[in-house]
Amino acid sequence: MAVIIRQMRPALVLSSPLARAAETCRLAGLGEHAARRDELMEWDYGAYEGRKTVEIRQERPGWTLWRDGVPEGETAAEVGARVDRVIAELREAGGDAAVFGHGHLLRVLAARWLGLDPAAGRLFALDPATISILGYERETPVIRAWNHR
């Protein structure tokens, strides 16, 4: 993973301001070039912040973030609106970009990159500390790589 990042000369580097993403960006050698964007902060889990799915399902059997959302938190559509602003910035960058964010947020970003509904992010399982590459095939937005280690 580090080799791929070291070879990059991105025109734009964006990071969530939250510590994990900002530290990953720094460790990748891009921290000094990064612009922090609140839009890249993780999904606001509201009343479910810090709770595990198994705990929530004891109260709400069958619950999923993608279908059911969270009380006092963000909806998939609200997260989608945030990443749409990031995508607009990425498309105007004039070259490659590097984005450092968080799992659910990045899954929504992939869905929106492809023009899908934000909740389609549920279809893109994403492991921690992996590289994914969004790009184009001619003018069509595509996923070039996903979960690369």
pLDDT at 7: 75
pLDDT over 60 (residue 52): yes
* Position 4 confidence tier, pLDDT thresholds 50, 70, 90: low
36 three-class SS: strand
CB 30 within 8 A of CB 10: yes
CB 6 within 8 A of CB 34: no
pLDDT over 70 (residue 105): yes
pLDDT at 3: 61
* Position 68 confidence tier, pLDDT thresholds 50, 70, 90: very high
- Is beta strand 35-36 parallel, antiparallel or unpaired with respect to 12-15? parallel
User: How is residue 105 written in tokens?
Assistant: 């947020």
pLDDT over 80 (residue 6): no
Euclidean distance between the first and the last CA atom of the chain, given in angstroms as a whole number: 5
Burial of 126 from C-beta contacts in 10 A (0-12 / 13-18 / 19+): middle
Average pLDDT over residues 82-88: 98
Whole-angstrom distance, CA of residue 107 vs CA of residue 78: 14
Whole-angstrom distance, CA of residue 94 vs CA of residue 40: 20
pLDDT over 80 (residue 85): yes
**In sequence order, which residues have a C-beta less than 8 Å from that of residue 61 and are 6 or more positions away?**
none
* Position 8 confidence tier, pLDDT thresholds 50, 70, 90: confident
pLDDT at 2: 56
pLDDT at 129: 87
